[in-house]
A and B are shown apart, each in its own frame.
Chain A
Amino acid sequence: NAGVMQNPRHLVRRRGQEARLRCSPMKGHSHVYWYRQLPEEGLKFMVYLQKENIIDESGMPKERFSAEFPKEGPSILRIQQVVRGDSAAYFCASSPQQGGTDTQYFGPGTRLTVL
């Protein structure tokens, strides 16, 4: 059973461009979570999704950020008009059961660098 997969592993964007980060959960997992780790800071929750639904987006910045988890295909975290402050490691996690009732399994992360 393959683990959580994220791609790309490294992404470089210039200010003003769009960044699309992809996450394929573990097989059989229908719950996906996105976290961000800024340099020298801890991991911060961004959003929790279940297939086609956003369950909790309390950690998402109000502008430029969006996330989806369609019926088919990976979950996508989209950042529009990136700024230097968006440079961070973005981690995706998945779980088989609802929310924090079960272990969240993390992917290797996507490291975004904004020039």
Chain B
Amino acid sequence: KQEVTQIPAALSVPEGENLVLNCSFTDSAIYNLQWFRQDPGKGLTSLLLIQSSQREQTSGRLNASLDKSSGRSTLYIAASQPGDSATYLCAVPGGTSYGKLTFGQGTILTVHP
């Protein structure tokens, strides 16, 4: 059974800092890994999807890396801004036809001015 863990559970930083969010998974036979952002009371927004054959993926100030063999992914946020405050979730697909996303518990990020 796939289990996904995210560390830290919460993070509070001043604006401008570079951040690293961690995600680990127990079954390394993954198809891909996805990072999402969730704002309070809202749905999820997809940030990055890394295929199992890739080592990293970049979008703007976000960079996600994937190490399948060690069961880890990191999300790097450069030059954080108050607008980055949200819960960040990582997820891996599994189940029949890989439709089931297993999520971590999330990292609650607060960036204060």
Contact = CB atoms under 8 A, between A and B. Distances in A.
B93 A58 contact: no
Nearest to A59: B100
Interface string B58-86: 00000000000000000000000000000
A36 to B, nearest CB: 11
Nearest to B46: A103
A56 B103 contact: no
B102 A45 contact: yes
A56 B104 contact: no
Contacts of A69: none
Contact of A100 (B31, B36, B103, B105): B31
B89 interface: yes
Given A43-B89, A100-B31, A56 B97 contact: yes
A98 interface: yes
Given A100-B32, A101-B31, A106 B96 contact: no
Interface string A79-102: 000000000000101000011111
Q: Which secondary structure characterizes the binding site on chain B?
A: strand
Nearest to B106: A42
Chain A interface bracket (under 10, 10 to 19, 20 to 34, 35 or more)? 20 to 34
Interface string A95-115: 000111111111111010000
Contacts of A109: 42-43
Contacts of B106: 42
B113 interface: no
Contacts of A22: none
Interface of B: 31-32, 34, 36, 41-46, 49, 89, 91-106
Interface of A: 4, 31, 33, 35, 42-45, 48, 55-56, 58-59, 91, 93, 98-109, 111
